[in-house]
């Protein structure tokens, strides 16, 4: 799979790229004024919703072809570049016809391999960059699959947008970041440019800065931030948009960090600490293996005595004691409980296998 660096896309973006603009292109005047204000603070790639996939009908769904004409006019007058969302082959055709510089596939579309394949076929032979938002649900296979469908038709200017995931759990954010999924994507496709969308993760403008800084700390390639001349009166997603002036302050206060240092003391000390981490991790693996051996022995006793695998009272005891241990050691108790849930679930699966295997087979394996 060949994927070009963001600086080779031919649209003026570099590392720590900033894409900003309104959630929706509402009127030509609104789009023009917002775009000019963004240009004044150094943003040269404008995002704008032309077709808006809304959860329910009878909501503002974008101006479509009319908005594409506004974009053409603004590009011609200002020299700015534009990025928009596409959701079907017709959108792709019209966007390319109207000289849109970057396309992106939205979270709902990424969730449908059929839709992504249709968009990929419509893009075949094009050199217009395309970004893929993560699917609504935390499914990295769908995200990877969408990217692969695009590269399979010969596209090389492909990137990813992390916009968070839907969850039944209530959090302060609109969408749960689940940073690890984005990190796993980057680990699988090290060359993929990864852009963070703090607006859709946050759902509220008050969290934009903290999420943007987190993305920079994790070495993302850029940010896409919803920005509107008058966010309070925006026709869509008013709560999560910022003004160009606020965006300017966000960008001025962001700290950009390097991926390494040439300082010899830093390198030496970091190497020593990493060796210690490696040793501790090895010990953790060995202890986990010992724990699983005991789990199997318990499973055999349960099988011989016809006792259920899962025992509510035992899990309650584990939850309470492990939470107490975490607090005593200054660890995050929620994290440690989640960790033990994984270990407990693995133990249950192993004991279920034992329960459903004939005893003579188990004893034969134990003697071999």
pLDDT tens profile 216-249: 999 999 999 999 999 999 999 999 999 999 999 9
Give the pLDDT score at 367: 53
- Cα-trace Rg, the chain: 25
Give the pLDDT score at 239: 97
- DSSP per position, 157-175: -EEEEE--B--SS--SSSS
Q: How far apart are CA 303 and CA 309, in angstroms?
A: 9
Find the DSSP H helices in the chain.
Answer: 28-40, 65-78, 89-97, 107-110, 113-123, 140-152, 179-188, 198-202, 208-217, 244-253, 264-304, 312-328, 333-355, 359-367
Are 24 and 54 in contact by the 8 Å Cβ rule? The answer is no
| 13-59 per-position pLDDT tens digit | 999 999 999 999 999 999 999 999 999 999 999 999 999 876 777 77
Q: How far apart are CA 179 and CA 164, in angstroms?
A: 8
Q: Same fold for the domain at 6-253 and the one at 264-367?
A: no
CATH topology of domain 6-253: TIM Barrel (3.20.20)
Tell me which DSSP letter residue 54 carries.
Answer: -
Q: In the chain, which residues have pLDDT < 50? A: 368
The ranges assigned to domains in the chain are 6-253, 264-367
DSSP SS3 for 337? helix
Give the pair of three-digit tokens for residue 103: 């396309």
Domain 264-367 has CATH 1.10.10.10: no
Q: How far apart are CA 240 and CA 164, in angstroms?
A: 14
Task: Give the relative orientation of helices 89-97 and 113-123 as an angle to the nearest 10 degrees.
Answer: 30
Q: What percent of the chain has pLDDT over 90?
A: 81
Residue 202 phi, psi (nearest 5): -70, -55
């Amino acid at each position: 799979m060949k994927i070009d660096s963001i600086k080779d896309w031919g649209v003026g973006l570099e590392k720590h790229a900033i894409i900003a603009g309104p959630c929706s292109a509402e009127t030509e005047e609104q789009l023009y004024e917002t775009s000019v204000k963004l240009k004044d603070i150094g943003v040269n790639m404008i995002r704008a919703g032309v077709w808006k996939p809304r959860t329910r009908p009878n909501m503002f769904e974008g101006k479509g072809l009319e908005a594409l004409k506004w974009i053409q006019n603004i590009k011609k007058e200002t020299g700015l570049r534009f990025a928009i969302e596409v959701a079907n082959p017709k959108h792709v055709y019209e966007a390319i016809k109207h000289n849109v510089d970057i396309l992106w596939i939205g979270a709902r579309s990424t969730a449908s391999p059929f839709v992504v394949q249709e968009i990929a076929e419509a893009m075949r032979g094009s050199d217009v960059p395309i970004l893929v938002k993560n699917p609504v649900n935390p499914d990295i296979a769908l995200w990877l699959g969408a990217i692969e469908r695009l590269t399979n038709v010969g596209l090389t200017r492909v990137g990813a947008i992390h916009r968070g995931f839907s969850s039944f759990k209530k959090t302060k954010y609109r969408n749960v970041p689940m940073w690890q999924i984005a990190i796993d994507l980057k680990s699988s496709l090290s060359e993929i440019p990864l852009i963070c969308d703090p607006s859709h993760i946050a759902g509220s403008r008050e969290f934009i800065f903290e999420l943007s800084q987190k993305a920079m700390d994790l070495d993302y390639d850029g940010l896409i931030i919803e920005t509107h001349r008058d966010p309070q009166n925006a026709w869509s997603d008013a709560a999560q948009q910022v003004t160009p002036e606020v965006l300017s302050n966000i960008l001025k206060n962001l700290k950009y960090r390097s991926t390494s240092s040439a300082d010899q003391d830093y390198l030496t000390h970091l190497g020593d600490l990493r060796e210690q981490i490696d040793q501790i991790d090895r010990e953790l693996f060995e202890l986990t293996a010992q724990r699983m051996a005991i789990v199997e022995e318990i499973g055999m006793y349960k099988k011989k005595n016809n006792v259920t695998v899962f025992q509510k009272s035992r899990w309650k005891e584990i939850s309470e004691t492990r939470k107490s241990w975490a607090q005593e050691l200054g660890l995050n108790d929620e994290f440690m409980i989640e960790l033990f849930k994984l270990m407990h679930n693995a133990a249950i699966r192993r004991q279920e296998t034992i329960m459903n295997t004939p005893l003579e087979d188990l004893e034969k394996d134990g003697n071999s």
